[in-house]
Amino acid sequence: MARRTAADLLIEGLIENGQEILFANLGTDHVTIVEELARRESHGEPAPRVISVPHENVAVHMAGGYAMQTGRGQAVLVHVDAGTANAAMAMHNLRRSRLPVLVMAGRAPFALRGELPAGRDTYVHYVQDPFDMAGIVRPYTKWEYCLPSGAVAKSMLMRALAVMQSDPCGPVYLTLPREILAETFEGTALRDPPALQDSAVAARGVEPEMARRIATMLMAADSPMIVTAYLGRNHEAPAILSALAEEAGIRVVETIPHWMNLPQDHPCHCGFDAGPFLQKTDVGMLLDVDVPWMPSLVAENHAARWIHLDVDPLKEGLPLWGYPAELRIQADSAIVLRQVLEIIRAEADDGFRARVRARLADFAAFRDQRAKRIEDAAGNPGAKDAISPAFLCDRLNAQMTADDIVLNEAIRNTPAVCNHMPRTKPGTYAGLAGGGLGFSGGMALGFRLARPEARVVQMVGDGSFHFGAPDAVYATAQAYGLPIFTVVLDNGGWQAVKEATLRVHPQGSAAATDRFFARLEGGRRRFEQIGMAFGAHGEYVDDPAALDAAIARCFAAIARGQAAVMTVRVTPL
């Protein structure tokens, strides 16, 4: 039997473990992987589909977007420490989003004088060899390791994939020394690991007594509330939450939502800010949420009883957290909600149902008032060079369907997107869970790759657009036929910097002089031209009256397979 390289064993292991796609930004450390991929292609042997992406930030976010839509984490190949550094922000975001991605980075070779095949043969092999390459991303990984030998390549892969797919999911990191990848083995000398040597561990439900305790607390409440952000990661969960909330008359608030957790037309959906309801809440449930409210900015009710149900209740990746809970439970929230719903349906009496009807009537009154505020905001178009974000989002929504996917990286204009582009179907909304700007372009590409039939609308602020390596986004869209619609909300800078400064120093010098050093100074910025350089359709809109026609032209471009970028001059910083 022919000798096999560690790189070939690694590729075979990827295929055997369901890795259909290899997102890649290749370098000199990957030479044997490149050779084996080419050999497999020429011999008709199976190999992952390679998606070459010109920037690692885009590649890793693209893999995350694919995982977000399919539930299946994929592999990304990056280049030594430089590629790892470029990937770090994406790994931060995926860690906070609890998305499974395997990031593999080649290592600079260590053989100096030809002691081993594939040793050092160029300048960068010296300067790309840091003391602790994994340290660049260690805070954002569930697991990291260095492949010690091709003999355990498949075992190592199985371990990495099991960890990344286990609840709570997250990125893992594997480094691949160049000499190790070129190492060869006699086929007969290798032993494949058992098929189930490592397998992912999924969160489950709770014992019946705990489900009953939760149900009892909710049924006894006068003003219950659920606060959630990422329950919708399980696409079956919104329907279960919908049924429970209506059955038990529970107010539901989505706080900084990462997913579509409850249809916005649901009678119990009460917006995106839990703060106004905290004082009246007597029993509450923190349901798959990281930051339910900002304690320093709201009046908390310390007499309220809280249940915390979460796939990640300890927030193990956060050094400091601090939200109260009488019950704190690690579980699959969808399963537990179904358990609780069955108990409430079985035990509800006429008195309970009457209280539920009264609460639903209160919710309806609140929702009517809220809808009127949203309608009034949408009716104000703004002015030339200062288009209202609410008006923009409303006009976009008028030409969208319920199946369209919204990626929200509008940052300080996030409320306009949430309120005026309501989503009602699972998997049709994604928000930024982490703190790394520049996530939405790559994620949008991953969404479109996973769901080619869906229209993907990326809402992104001008400041965030800069961070997203947009040239790499549209080069990839062009190369692989992934038309996405990007809307750049150009307010001239980073509104978050101004608002944060005013919260801490409301009477300070920055406020008095209007100097926040957060404006993008200079002439007009034509963000759409970046997309046009790679074949995208471009629109520049500074007049509210021109919006509808520009939006229609962008959607027409998407329909013919062409990406579209629309720059919109919104209310300035």
Model confidence pLDDT, tens digit, residues 189-200: 677 777 766 789
- Give the pLDDT confidence score for residue 87 in this predicted structure: 97
Tell me the pLDDT band of 547, cut-offs 50, 70 and 90. very high
- Give the pLDDT confidence score for residue 542 in this predicted structure: 97
Model confidence pLDDT, tens digit, residues 207-238: 999 999 999 999 999 999 999 999 999 999 99
Read off the pLDDT of each residue in 531-540 and give the average, rounded to a whole number: 98
CA 27 to chain centre: 27
> Is residue 1's pLDDT more than 60?
no
Read off the pLDDT of each residue in 368-372 and give the average, rounded to a whole number: 97
Residues whose CB falls within 8 Å of the CB of residue 458, separated by 6 or more in sequence, listed in order: 407, 409, 440, 441, 444, 484, 485, 486, 487
CA 157 to chain centre: 24
CB 159 within 8 A of CB 198: yes
- Give the pLDDT confidence score for residue 196 in this predicted structure: 65
| Average pLDDT of the chain to the nearest whole number | 95
Model confidence pLDDT, tens digit, residues 55-83: 999 999 999 999 999 999 999 999 999 99
Model confidence pLDDT, tens digit, residues 272-282: 999 999 999 99
> Is residue 522's pLDDT more than 80?
no
- Give the pLDDT confidence score for residue 342 in this predicted structure: 98
Burial bucket for residue 96 (CB in 10 Å: 0-12, 13-18, 19+) = buried
Helices and strands in the chain: count of H runs, count of E runs: 20, 21
- Give the pLDDT confidence score for residue 158 in this predicted structure: 94
- Give the pLDDT confidence score for residue 494 in this predicted structure: 79
Backbone angles phi, psi at 176, to 5 degrees: -130, 100
Give ∠ CA 168-172-174 in degrees, rounded to 5.
160
> Is residue 511's pLDDT more than 60?
yes
- Give the pLDDT confidence score for residue 188 in this predicted structure: 63
- Give the pLDDT confidence score for residue 492 in this predicted structure: 87
- Give the pLDDT confidence score for residue 554 in this predicted structure: 98
Model confidence pLDDT, tens digit, residues 21-62: 999 999 999 999 999 999 999 999 999 999 999 999 999 999
Tell me the pLDDT band of 396, cut-offs 50, 70 and 90. very high
Model confidence pLDDT, tens digit, residues 148-187: 999 999 999 999 999 999 999 999 999 999 999 999 998 6
**Distance from the first to the final alpha carbon of the chain:** 68
Instruction: Identify the CA nearest to 227 among candidates 277, 266, 267.
Output: 277
